[in-house]
């Protein structure tokens, strides 16, 4: 009887822990996906209404829709003094150029070779395409960004959270563990190589509270995920 009682308590605790994890994954996945939308395009009234509901914008936002749209463009779309790059390649990728021999035409000039940083379309892009394909990830409707855009990387992280939650709901433990491992490796190899730098720029350079708060939420994201996605 005692043994059966202990087993019953153990099963009850496992069920409770599983349900808590499902709820946390669904919450995290939903929040990350929402942040990805805020960084994917200038916000419309519907998106700002949702942002207001979760405390990212203050009352009276309806009169400032165009202001938020202009700020998005200033920060993330148009090169200028306040522009913040939104692609991983700019932060992490290095283009290595081999030296060249002297020009045979007679000018004698040679290129010494070197490294180029801060460019678009680096090695991160094809690598991310492979990850997205293998994980059966489809970008949200209307997404036209490059694979290493912050919005797509966040949306992929959300996809993995929600996929693990679904696997736990149907009690597919091996599948859930596989998605958990994928998220951990994705964070290590891609997202968290540049998330802090990007988020700090957003939090410190934004004029409106909306993007300052988005940057602050992103800075907290790794700590939040660590509680439920241990390595």
User: How confident is the model over 168-179, as pLDDT tens digits?
Assistant: 999 999 999 999
- Which residues on adjacent β-strands are paired with residue 95? 116
Q: For 78-85, which contacts have Cβ atoms below 8 Å and span 24 or more sequence positions?
A: 82/205, 84/198, 84/201, 84/202, 84/205, 85/118, 85/198
Q: Identify the pLDDT of residue 79.
A: 86
The answer to whether 146 and 132 have CB atoms below 8 angstroms apart is no
Q: Identify the pLDDT of residue 103.
A: 62
Q: Identify the pLDDT of residue 19.
A: 93
Q: Identify the pLDDT of residue 221.
A: 95
Over residues 136-159, the pLDDT tens digits come to 998 876 567 899 999 999 999 999
220, pLDDT greater than 70: yes
Cα–Cα distance for residue pair 161/169, rounded to 1 Å:
13
Q: How much is the average pLDDT of 211-219?
A: 96
The answer to whether 88 and 124 have CB atoms below 8 angstroms apart is yes
Joined together, the tokens standing for residue 21 give 């994890």
Over residues 178-214, the pLDDT tens digits come to 999 999 999 999 999 999 999 999 999 888 899 999 9
Does domain 23-88+121-226 bear CATH number 1.10.3480.10?
Answer: yes
6, pLDDT greater than 50: no
Question: What global pTM score does this model have?
Answer: 0.85
Q: What is the dihedral of CA 110, 114, 120, 124, to 10 degrees?
A: 130
Three-class secondary structure of residue 98 per DSSP: coil
Query: For residue 201, which of 76, 110, 111, 92 has the smallest C-alpha distance?
Result: 76
Over residues 48-107, the pLDDT tens digits come to 999 999 999 999 999 999 999 999 999 999 888 889 999 999 999 987 655 556 666 656
Angle at alpha carbon of residue 123, lines to 119 and 124, rounded to 5°: 90
Cα–Cα distance for residue pair 179/121, rounded to 1 Å:
27
The answer for residues whose C-beta is within 8 angstroms of residue 20's C-beta and 6 or more apart is none
């Amino acid at each position: 009887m005692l043994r059966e009682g202990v087993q019953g308590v153990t099963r009850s605790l496992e069920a409770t822990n599983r349900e808590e994890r499902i709820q946390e994954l669904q919450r995290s996945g939903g929040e990350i996906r929402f942040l990805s939308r805020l960084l994917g395009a200038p916000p419309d009234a519907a998106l700002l209404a949702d942002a207001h509901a979760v405390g990212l914008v203050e009352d009276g936002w309806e009169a400032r829709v165009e202001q938020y749209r202009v700020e998005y463009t200033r920060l993330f779309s148009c090169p200028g003094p306040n522009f913040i790059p939104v692609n991983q390649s700019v932060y992490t990728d290095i283009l290595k150029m081999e030296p060249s021999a002297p020009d045979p035409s007679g000018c004698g000039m040679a290129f010494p070779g070197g490294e180029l940083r801060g460019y678009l379309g680096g090695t991160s892009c094809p690598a991310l395409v492979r990850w997205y394909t293998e994980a059966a990830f489809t970008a949200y409707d209307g997404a036209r960004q490059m694979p290493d855009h912050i919005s797509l990387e966040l949306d992929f992280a959300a996809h993995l959270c929600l996929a693990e939650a679904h696997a736990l709901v149907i009690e597919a433990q091996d599948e859930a563990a596989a998605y958990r491992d994928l998220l951990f490796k994705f964070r290590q190899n891609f997202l968290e190589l540049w998330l802090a730098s990007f988020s700090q720029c957003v939090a410190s350079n934004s004029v409106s509270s909306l993007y300052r708060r988005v940057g602050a939420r992103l800075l907290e994201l790794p700590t939040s995920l660590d509680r439920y996605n241990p390595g």
